[in-house]
Amino acid sequence: MILIQQLRMLQQVIDYVEEHIKDDIDPEYVAKMAGYSPYHFYRVFQKHIGYTLMDYVVKRRLQYALHELVHGKKVIQIAMDYGFETHAGFTKAFKKCFGIPPSLYKIHCPKSLPQKLDLISIHQKNTGGIVMQPMIVKRPPFTVAGKTFEIKMGNVSYTRDAPAIWDQEGLADGSIERMLYKTVAPNKHGEYCINLSPCAAEDKFTYLFAVELDEDTLLPDGLTPLQLPEATYAVFRTPLVEVEKFASAIKGTWNYIVEDWFPQSSYEMDETAYDFEYYDEHCHYWDYEKVYMEIHIPIKERG
């Protein structure tokens, strides 16, 4: 009951930020509005949202700024509108949030506004934090190779129902991963987890755990190659979480994509291509205190 009350209080704060996204936001006023001391409010907010209040405000402003950038507004005007004093300050904050400068990101950005956040729904999905807007990326055909597994489950729907794959012999202890890097020796580090089954499959699916197969590499016996066709992908990152929350964050992010993002976006699933999960060094819990992975969804403009 206390948790639900806190989430409802935080939803009021989130809604206030949305309504005043271009205004100065006073953290102490927001804390008072929520009925907490500043110290206690900051702790509650970061625990449930995954960011400090002002980090969240900056990230949310950047998401709205990105929408305006995609629709042709000048960077300097956007920077002024969203409280950044200079073009350079806006670009620095943008690169820190999204990893690349605005000029490059705008050609890979969704055309729709950022989705309105529903904290109760996010809590129920157990994502571990806020899922940011995806990057839209067009990829040429590429080939992977790996081991296939057949998993028996009910109500299989895309890869989001596949966490059971990690219980399979050879994956839980990392032996198949090590074998793939030794025998296939890809130039690029990263593992692909791909559901090969048609969506109509109801009780089982075939799952491919793979790495990229470089041109002219001789494929050892026992491994399955797969060429993924050229496609446009929406690339989502799971929220940064501790490793014990990683599996639930992945499934929660899938649920968010299918149940929240798609219905509010201008895209639909491109059934001619494959969705997949992508794991690189950022999911190495022995190197990072918090981890994340990527979910790549093939998309097309809604008809």
**CATH code of the domain covering residue 29:** 1.10.10.60
Please indicate, yes or no, whether residues 170 and 104 belong to a single structural domain of this protein. no
In this prediction the pTM is 0.80
Please indicate, yes or no, whether residues 24 and 70 belong to a single structural domain of this protein. yes
Higher-pLDDT residue of 175, 201: 175
CA count, 13 A, side-chain hemisphere, 49? 25
pLDDT tops 90 at residue 108: no
Q: Does 126 map to a domain? A: no
Work out the percent of the chain whose per-residue pLDDT is above 90. 34
Any idea which of 15-29, 81-95, 186-200 has the lowest mean pLDDT? 186-200
Please indicate, yes or no, whether residues 230 and 291 belong to a single structural domain of this protein. yes
Please indicate, yes or no, whether residues 160 and 82 belong to a single structural domain of this protein. no
pLDDT tops 60 at residue 30: yes
Q: Looking at residues 68-84, what average pLDDT do you find?
A: 87
Please indicate, yes or no, whether residues 167 and 288 belong to a single structural domain of this protein. yes
DSSP 35: T
User: In what helix (H) or strand (E) does residue 139 lie, and over which residues does it extend?
Assistant: strand 135-139
DSSP 165: G
Number of domains in the chain: 2
pLDDT at residue number 198: 61
- CATH number of 183's domain: 3.20.80.10
Q: Looking at residues 200-217, what average pLDDT do you find?
A: 79
Please indicate, yes or no, whether residues 75 and 146 belong to a single structural domain of this protein. no
Please indicate, yes or no, whether residues 101 and 142 belong to a single structural domain of this protein. no
Please indicate, yes or no, whether residues 174 and 282 belong to a single structural domain of this protein. yes
Q: Name the residue range of residue 237's domain.
A: 137-301
pLDDT at residue number 228: 95
Summarize pLDDT for 223-264 with one digit per residue, the tens.
999 999 999 999 999 998 888 888 888 888 988 888 888 888
Please indicate, yes or no, whether residues 93 and 211 belong to a single structural domain of this protein. no
Q: Does 92 map to a domain? A: yes
Give the integer Cα–Cα distance in Å for 174 and 180. Answer: 10
Q: Does 186 map to a domain? A: yes
pLDDT at residue number 105: 75
pLDDT at residue number 302: 83
177-184's contacts with Cβ under 8 Å and 24+ in sequence apart are: 177/209, 180/145, 180/146, 180/147, 180/209, 180/210, 180/211, 180/223, 181/211, 183/220, 183/223, 184/145, 184/146, 184/211, 184/213, 184/217, 184/219, 184/220, 184/223
Q: Does 166 map to a domain? A: yes
- In which band, very low, low, confident or very high, does the pLDDT at 107 lie, cut at 50, 70 and 90? confident
Please indicate, yes or no, whether residues 97 and 143 belong to a single structural domain of this protein. no
Give the integer Cα–Cα distance in Å for 190 and 49. Answer: 28
pLDDT tops 70 at residue 288: yes
Please indicate, yes or no, whether residues 46 and 145 belong to a single structural domain of this protein. no
| Domain boundary pick from 109, 128, 161 | 109
Q: Does 121 map to a domain? A: no
pLDDT tops 80 at residue 56: yes
Q: Does 124 map to a domain? A: no
Higher-pLDDT residue of 217, 168: 217
